[in-house]
A = this chain, B = another copy of it.
Amino acid sequence: MTELFLEERNCDTCPIRHRAVCSKCEADELELLDSIKYYRTYDAGQPVVWAGDEMDFVASVVSGIATLSQTMEDGRTQMVGLLLPSDFLGRPGRAIAPYDVTSNSDLTLCCFRRKPFEKLLQDTPSIAQRLLEMTLDELDAARQWMLILGRKTAREKIASLLIIIAQREASLRKRRPTDGSSFELPLTREAMADYLGLTLETVSRQVSALKRDGIIELEGKRLVTVPDFEALMAETGDDSDGGLPV
Contacts and interface: CB of A to CB of B under 8 A. Distances in A.
Interface in A92-130: 92-94, 96, 98-99, 121-122, 125, 128-129
Contacts of A70: 143-144, 147
Interface of A: 68, 70, 72-74, 76-78, 80-81, 91-94, 96, 98-99, 121-122, 125, 128-129, 131-133, 135-136, 138-140, 142-147, 149-152, 196-197, 237-239, 244-245
A94 B197 CA distance: 30
A187 to B, nearest CB: 15
Nearest to A237: B72
Contacts of A76: 151-152, 237
7 contacts: A68-B143, A72-B151, A98-B143, A135-B136, A142-B142, A142-B143, A149-B149
A94 B238 contact: no
Nearest to A241: B52
Nearest to A132: B132
Nearest to A135: B135
B128 A237 contact: no
A81 B136 contact: no
B197 A150 contact: yes
Contact of A132 (B131, B142, B152): B131
